């Protein structure tokens, strides 16, 4: 047990070698040191350039997204329009056939009334096609084109060019170079010459 009085223990002094050392600078302390104005300006310029570049990229992405949505909306509208127009085409076919059959009996007054009514209906339907830039596919007398024609019959016939459209069974229609329905046709074929028999 220590016999020294308590007063002597409280006056104890550390030697100089054990005195408080200078505080060590940490990375956090270094970050807190004020930057020079030149370094601060350079840092702000880099940050501004980085933010500007990111803004430009986001703006470009937004513009591309808007263009894509507009294109998809236009394609959807066009597709819906095409489907409606395709439904109208058989009605036009029926009106034209009805006019042909009524034309043979146009002498009767009652038939004339029906004939005029069908003509008005057909005119209205064709007006719709015109508004949407729908045109008939060229038919009789044209060269057969597999892109717009559907050959139902091929017939050998003299006096015609091979592949010439001879008869139109059903009209074809296209809208702005987009085929709505191919024309169903009969196509000419040049007769093959009979082989010459050798004696």
What pLDDT shows up at residue 71?
A: 92
**For residue 23, is it within any domain?**
no
Domain end, chosen from 113, 132, 151, is at 132
Residue 87 binned pLDDT confidence (cut-offs 50, 70, 90): very high
Q: How many CB atoms lie within 10 A of CB 149?
A: 22
Residue 134 binned pLDDT confidence (cut-offs 50, 70, 90): very high
Averaged over 117-122, what is the pLDDT? 91
**For residue 163, is it within any domain?**
yes
**For residue 86, is it within any domain?**
yes
Do 49 and 79 lie in one domain? The reply is yes
Do 124 and 140 lie in one domain? The reply is no
Do 82 and 159 lie in one domain? The reply is no
Number of domains in the chain: 2
Percent of the chain residues topping a pLDDT of 70:
77
CA dist 56 and 167 (Å) reads 61
Residue 141: pLDDT over 60: yes
Do 116 and 150 lie in one domain? The reply is no
**Is 0.85 topped by the overall pTM?**
no
Do 121 and 93 lie in one domain? The reply is yes
**For residue 123, is it within any domain?**
yes
Look at 61-70, 180-189, 190-199 and tell me which has the smallest mean pLDDT: 190-199
**For residue 16, is it within any domain?**
no
Averaged over 96-122, what is the pLDDT? 82
Residue 38 binned pLDDT confidence (cut-offs 50, 70, 90): confident
> Which domain does 53 fall in, by range?
36-132
What strands, in cross-sheet order, belong to the sheet with 165-170?
Answer: 149-156, 183-189, 165-170
What are φ and ψ of residue 158, in 5° steps?
-80, 155
Cα separations in angstroms, 89 against 102, 115, 123, 149, 183: 20, 19, 13, 16, 12
Domain end, chosen from 132, 153, 181, is at 132
What pLDDT shows up at residue 194?
A: 47
Do 128 and 140 lie in one domain? The reply is no
Residue 30 binned pLDDT confidence (cut-offs 50, 70, 90): low
CATH number, residue 150:
2.30.22.10
> Whose CA is closest to 144, among 130, 124, 126, 161?
161
**For residue 113, is it within any domain?**
yes
**For residue 66, is it within any domain?**
yes
């Amino acid at each position: 047990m220590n016999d020294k009085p308590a007063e002597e223990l409280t006056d104890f002094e550390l030697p100089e070698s054990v005195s408080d050392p200078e505080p060590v600078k940490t990375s956090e302390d270094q970050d807190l040191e004020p930057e020079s104005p030149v370094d601060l300006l350079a840092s702000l310029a880099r940050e501004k350039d980085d933010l500007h570049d990111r803004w430009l990229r986001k703006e470009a992405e937004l513009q591309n997204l808007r263009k894509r949505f507009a294109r998809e909306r236009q394609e959807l509208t066009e597709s819906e329009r095409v489907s409606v127009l395709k439904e109208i085409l058989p009605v036009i076919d029926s009106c034209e056939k009805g006019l042909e059959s009524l034309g043979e009996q146009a002498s009767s007054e009652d038939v004339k009334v029906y004939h005029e009514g069908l003509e008005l209906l057909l005119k209205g339907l064709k007006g719709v096609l015109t508004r949407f830039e729908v045109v008939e596919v060229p038919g009789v007398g044209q060269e057969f084109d597999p892109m717009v024609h559907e050959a139902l019959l091929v017939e050998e016939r003299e006096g015609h060019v091979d592949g010439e459209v001879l008869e139109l069974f059903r009209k074809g229609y296209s809208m702005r170079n987009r085929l709505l329905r191919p024309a169903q046709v009969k196509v000419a074929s040049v007769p093959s010459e009979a082989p010459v028999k050798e004696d």
